[in-house]
Structure 1
Amino acid sequence: MKTLLNRMRWSGRIALLLAAGWSTLAPNAPAQADEPAPKRERRDAEAEYSEGSFGMERLFVPRWRLTDGPQVRSAFRDVVKDVVAATVSIQCDGKQSALGGIISPDGWIVTKATPLCGKLTVELADGRKLPATTVAESGQHDLALLKVDATNLPSLDLNAANGSPKVGSWLASTGHSKDPVAVGVVSVPPRVIPSQAGVLGVQIDEVEARIVQVFPDTAAEEAGVEPEDLIVEVNGKKVASREKLKEVIASFNPGDEVELVIDRSGEEVKLHATLTGDFPGLPMGRSEFQNNLGGKLSVRRFGFPLAFQHDTVLRPADCGGPVVDLDGHVVGFNIARAGRTESYALPAEAVQGVLKELMKEHLMVKKHSPEAEAAEKLEIK
């Protein structure tokens, strides 16, 4: 295996691997007695698909058998071995919502913030499930710092990588399996990812910030906004007019949660709305339609101060976890599935800076509190 990985450092490595993938996935390969049903169904479907001529087989091989197939991912098994031990699954009310990475043996974990809701549970690589608490969040970077009650946990070394990976470099995104959840190649170096305006989903008065209509299946409807409500504040910002409300809402990204202070018939009501990126009923643009062909995208996939782009095909629930290079060094954390072949990752160095600020601002509230003492001892490797 190590020999194969070494070969992959040269230009001919992928051609050899893909050729091996075609031969090992021959359509007439016998089924294993203990083969899982989903795997067997996929193999059978592949066999049916490949009954044509040799040339057609090579022309129309499904993409998952190439760069995202099990044979390709298994080649990275030794690369991700150590990092897998420090990768966790974040569950919200029992449903996997994100991946994360342990940054300290004392149970400090970093993950993507926007998917977090309800009762949080962290599943460790050894199978243990522990309740988790959100200690701090960075809305700008969409990162959250979680804490579980545990010690002597395997943790990530965020200092091992020498800067951000170069364009063309291979990456592996870790999960709980011995193989990475997906692999891909760096396509664009670190850059600012522009913001996209969030959508509340209401029609408002021509002058004031009063609700005329609440559209179905929107952030406003889910939050409980009603017609005739007068929005007074959004996240502490006064909105005395229609234009001010539009300006403030547009300053947030899809996936951001905002607090609305509403005047409802003279009574103050506080609601929380998670903004969306699309307005229900409007036709999907061509670019957006093509991006969605590859599967679901992250709700918050825009507005990052610094991120590098890679072509790894991820599920939104697989974001938040570590990304490693061919040397097994953590080079970043997946932060969004943004397009059909477009995913974003925050560089490890940038994540370190954010975590230090979160600890400084949110953990040291009381100078001599247990939380403060724990924060003083916390060192990100």
Structure 2
Amino acid sequence: MKKILVVLCFKLGILSLFCLFCTSGYSQSNPEVKHIETLIANCVEKAMATSVYMIEYDTLKNAVQDGIAEESGFTGVLVSEAGHILTASHAAMPNQVYQIRFPDGSRHIAVGLGRIGIQDKGMDFDMAMVKIIKPGKWPFALMAPAKELRINQPVISISYPGAFFKQMPNVRYGRISDIDLSDGFIESSAKMEPGDSGGPLFDELGRVVGVHSWIKEKEEQNYDVPADHFLKYWTALNTPKDYKEFPAVDDLPAPASSISMETVPALEEVAGISAEHHKSVVALTSALGTQQLYILGTVIDFSGANYIISKSSMVGNNPIVKMGNSIVPVQILKRDQDKDLVLLKAAEKLDGGIRLKSDTTNPELKETNLGKILISALAKESIKVGVLSATYVDMPLNTSRGYLGAGAAYEDGKITLVRIGKNSSVASLLKTKDQVIKINGVLVNTAADYDNEFAKYMAGDSISLDVIREGGPMQFNICLEGQPTVRHVSFEFPGGRSARSDGFKNVLIHDAAIKADECGSPVFDSAGKFYGINIARRSRTSSIVMPVEALVAFIKNNTN
């Protein structure tokens, strides 16, 4: 079986009818939803402090090891008061010094111990141990025996995905989908990506059931090393050695009586939204040069007026919205590049709309709210459901810097295109040997000029590019792309990453699989409270929500 390592490192709903000042319509509440939220919250409360971010460290320089990017770490989980940390063998090495960072921001030095990264008879072993050097009484999680695992048992991932660089780990939710351990792994739908390597998969009791190892292309296929394997080789893993053959197995005490773990239905089976909230979703079509853009939008009722709000970088010129069999033109009122928002008004009044007031504020969310179920309303009355992964975080601009889709070099005193991306939007426009002379009307004479000018723009921005081709001047209008991704299975999820996926402030993160062209859609909690709109698909594990307070400010500042 081909394996991809993540190296970069109750059954009946109760209808509750009520009106909220900041939302319109009704919501459907199901006791099972609240029960699942409680399970996740209890786990997060018990286990959050045990998940640590790890990175190679130079204690002489008191800095991250040379050649290692600050965001290129991985995850581990403490399982003893003495500071033993479980992680993956593809992430850690014996005798390597690491800095570990706890969710509260405290940092300590640890050292690599044993490593078992062996393939044998169809089974893979992806285990390593690290230990904090400083003596202390460290927070730790218990380990759960694999024999207690059940199909559809709820599990919670608390680890540090590489698409983010922040102090707190992200929370993700899933269910056990395969307990056949013949290949050495547990399969679950709790999503992981590079950076999550070595991170913990917890049961509802906050016990470690597995350690994150690898993924397949489908988002629901995620594989963890059972905690049992670490117990089996506990003595060997405490010795700083890279094992090429299996070490001796420990004699484990007879297992205690098993705990019967509960199973739960899929979130989509128990969570839903009202028909009124479904009416708040519209599909927008627009043009950007020869490119057709498709994105969703959310209808807002603000002070009695009807607006649409959506993702600006995915709304081009002459947008339209389809209403039944009619095509309705839409006027662009204002754009906000920092938040990637666009405010629009349809030529005809739209049905429905989420009612917002000028004093609407964000929901108060704390660590205890992580794991809260969030529902995204999509086109054709469909939904996607996930859980709150992180609250009100800043995402520095990184992968969303504007990218031309072509490589340039400074040759003979000229900026010359030397490579055109085969699948880039400029492939039909630009040619190698084109000489760039202006970017958006600004002369570029040196490589520094070229770099500095492009640094001003984000993915989705439109620019003019003046070139000399075979002695003659030409000008092109180009929409910049996001930075290209590396070839890795973690980037192969349906729809891919949004071109503009970072450079945001004070946003929410959830783990629903929102496609890039499903952004602009509204997000609600299980009680029908409006949280904001999906503003970006960031990575395999995460989508980004622009919260309601930012939407209100944007509308209020740009309408009479």
Same fold (TM over 0.5): yes
- The offset of 1:172, in angstroms, is 0.7
Within 2, Cα distance between the matches of 1:352 and 1:267? 49
Q: Deviations over 1:314-358 (max 9, x none)?
A: 11111011111222122111011111111111111112223344x
User: Where does residue 157 of structure 1 map in the other structure?
Assistant: 355
The offset of 1:131, in angstroms, is: 2.2
Q: Distance in 2 between matches of 1:238 and 1:314?
A: 40
- 2:271 is aligned to 76
Q: Cα 1:114–1:7, aligned 2, differ >3 Å: closer, same or farther?
A: same
Does residue 221 of structure 1 match 2:430?
no
What is the CA distance between 1:164 and its match in structure 2? 5.4
Aligned counterpart, 1:176:
379
Q: Which runs of 5+ in 2 are unaligned?
A: 1-12, 16-28, 41-150, 153-176, 191-218, 222-263
In 2: Cα distance, 1:346 partner to 1:145 partner = 14
Deviations 1:232-269 (A, max 9, x none): 44335443321121122134333333222445678764
Match of 2:33 in 1: 8
Give the direction of change, closer, same or farther, for the CA distance of 1:305–1:237 in structure 2 (3 Å limit).
farther
**CA gap 1:208/1:274 in 2 versus in 1, 3 angstroms:** farther
Superposed, which structure 2 residues align to 1:20-39 within 5 Å?
Answer: none
Is contact 2:299-2:309 (8 Å) kept? yes
How far apart, in 2, do the equivalents of 1:329 and 1:277 lie? 32
2:545 aligns to what SS in structure 1? strand
Deviation at 1:300, TM superposition (A): 1.6
| Matched residue, 1:103 | 300
Q: Scaled by the length of structure 1, what TM-score is found?
A: 0.68
Task: Pick from 191, 200, 204 the counterpart of residue 409 of structure 2.
Answer: 204
Give 1:135 shift.
3.2
Q: Give the structure 2 partner of residue 194 of structure 1.
A: 396
Give distance in 1, aligned partners of 2:390 and 2:549.
17
Superposition CA RMSD, Å: 3.9
1:134 to 329, 332, 342: 332
Does the aligned pair in 2 maintain the 1:164–1:190 contact within 8 Å? no
Partner of 1:307: 507
CA contact (8 A) 2:390 2:510 kept: yes
1:160-198 superposed Cα distances (whole Å, 9 cap, x missing partner): 564354432211111234442x11111111222121233
Letter of the aligned partner of 2:534 in structure 1? N
Matches within 5 A, 1:344-359: 344-357=544-557, 359=558
For residues 481 and 292 of structure 2, the distance between their equivalents in structure 1, rounded to whole angstroms, comes to: 21
Does the CA-based 8 Å contact 2:293-2:314 persist in structure 1?
no
- Give the number of the structure with larger relative contact order, counting CA–CA contacts within 8 Å between residues 6 or more apart: 1
How many angstroms apart in 1 are the aligned matches of 2:331 and 2:427? 25
Tell me if the contact between 1:102 and 1:154 (Cα under 8 Å) persists in the aligned partners: yes
Deviations 1:270-303 (A, max 9, x none): 3222223355xxx9255xx424346522122122
Give deviations 1:22-79, integer Å, cap 9, x for gaps: 7xxxxxxxxxxxxxxxxxxxxxxxxxxx9x99999xx76778999xx996335333x3
Question: For the residues of structure 2 that align with 1:164 and 1:54, how far apart are their CA atoms?
Answer: 42
Q: Kindly indicate whether the alpha-carbon contact (under 8 Å) linking 1:322 and 1:333 is maintained by their aligned counterparts in 2.
A: yes
One of 243, 250, 259 as aligned partner of 2:455? 250
Checking the alignment, whether the CA contact within 8 Å between 1:256 and 1:274 is kept in structure 2 is: yes
- Quickly say closer, same or farther: Cα 1:325–1:203, change in 2 above 3 A: same
Alignment of 1:84-99 (within 5 A): 84-92=278-286, 97-99=294-296
Q: Give the whole-Å Cα distance in 2 for the aligned partners of 1:61 and 1:191.
A: 27
How many Å apart are 1:119 and its aligned residue?
A: 5.1
Shift of 1:151: 2.5
Cross-structure match for 1:322: 522
Gaps of 5+ in 1: 16-20, 23-49, 360-374, 377-381
Conserved in 1, the CA contact under 8 Å of 2:334 and 2:344?
yes
2:445 to 231, 240, 249: 240
Secondary structure class of the residue paired with 1:331: strand
Cα distance change, pair 73–96 in 1 and its aligned pair in 2 (3 A): farther
User: Deviation of residue 206 (structure 1)?
Assistant: 4.3
Change in 2 beyond 3 A, CA 1:96/1:128? farther
- Report the secondary structure of 1:335's partner residue: strand
Q: Residue 202 of structure 1 aligns to a residue in which SS?
A: strand
Counterparts in 2 of 1:70 and 1:221: CA distance versus 1, 3 Å: farther
Considering fraction of residues, name the structure with more strand: 2
How many residue pairs get aligned? The number is 316
Aligned partner of 1:332 among 512, 518, 532: 532
The answer to whether the 8 A contact 1:255-1:299 is kept is yes
- The answer (yes or no) to whether the contact 1:169–1:325 under 8 Å persists in 2 is yes
Amino acid at match of 1:103: I
Kindly report which structure 2 residues correspond to 1:277-292, keeping only aligned pairs within 5 A, or say none.
Answer: 277-278=482-483, 284=486, 286=488, 289-292=489-492
Task: Please name the residue that 2:260 is paired with.
Answer: none
- Report sequence identity in percent: 21
Residue 146 of structure 1 corresponds to 344
Q: Secondary structure at the match of 1:300?
A: coil
CA distance in 2, matches of 1:232, 1:147: 38
Q: Report if aligned partners of 2:372, 2:388 keep a CA contact under 8 Å in 1.
A: yes
Tell me which structure has the larger Cα radius of gyration: 2
CA contact (8 A) 1:80 1:324 kept: no
State the Cα distance separating 1:114 from its structure 2 match: 1.8
Distance 2:417 2:181 in 1: 61
Q: Which amino acid aligns with 2:275?
A: K
Aligned to 1:122: 321
User: Could you say which structure has the higher helix fraction?
Assistant: 1
| Distance of 1:257 and 1:80 partners within structure 2 | 38
After superposition, the Cα gap between the structure-2 partners of 1:234 and 1:285, relative to the gap in structure 1 and judged at 3 Å, is same
